Amino acid sequence: MNTQPRGLRNNNPLNIRHSASKWQGARSEQTDKSFVQFTSMAYGYRAAWKVLESYWRHLHNKGMPFTPFNIIHRWAPPTENDTNAYVRTVCSISRLTSNEPLPQPSKACLTGELDKLVLLIMAMTTMECGIRTKDINPEDIKEGYEKAFTY
């Protein structure tokens, strides 16, 4: 029996659920009924970057700031999670404040603020997979970023 967390087994560290989206790097055979399975961890992180970019657009269009609090309230809604505990844990791990304005993901590399979002994603991976940040390869996250935003 494989005891590795589901998000790691699926190369989907933020546990992105199946939807109408046709994800680049998704495995041709999807055997998990709930969560997308990717061919590599970098493709799982690519999908996470794309979701965060869509959240940035959604929040921006509503005149709301792109902050850990607003991101997580959409990512892990109170109807399914203890969202406030999720926010506290992610902020503790990442050392971001819950209302800290974050950059637009697709432009974070240009503004020199990519590290803030990498820390956020590492902390969210910790929450989603129940692993320590030292067990997360930040290069996978950065490779996912390049796959998401290199045109």
pLDDT, tens only, 64-105: 999 999 999 999 999 989 999 999 999 999 999 999 999 999
Q: Which two tokens stand for residue 105?
A: 């993901």
Average pLDDT in the 136-149 region? 96
Q: What is the pLDDT of residues 49-64, one digit of tens each?
A: 999 999 999 999 999 9
- What is the rounded distance in angstroms from the CA atom of residue 145 to the CA atom of residue 59? 20
At residue 1, the pLDDT reads: 62
**What confidence tier does 3 reach under pLDDT thresholds 50, 70, 90?**
confident
The β-bridge partners of 49 are: none
**pLDDT at position 99, please?**
98
Torsion-angle region of 15 (φ positive above 0: left; ψ -120 to 50: alpha; else: beta): left
Q: Which two tokens stand for residue 38?
A: 């990717």
- Check whether 2 has a pLDDT greater than 80: no
Distance in angstroms (rounded) separating the CA atoms of residues 72 and 21 = 20
> What rounded mean pLDDT belongs to the chain?
95
Tell me, what's the pLDDT at 47? 98
User: By percentage, how much of the chain surpasses pLDDT 70?
Assistant: 98
Instruction: Identify any residues that bridge with 38 across adjacent strands, giving them in sequence order.
Output: 26
Q: Rounded CA gap, 95 and 105, in Å?
A: 18
Angle, vertex CA 2, rays to CA 44 and CA 87, nearest 5: 50
Handedness of CA 139, 134, 47, 26 (dihedral sign): positive
Residue 150 has what pLDDT?
A: 82
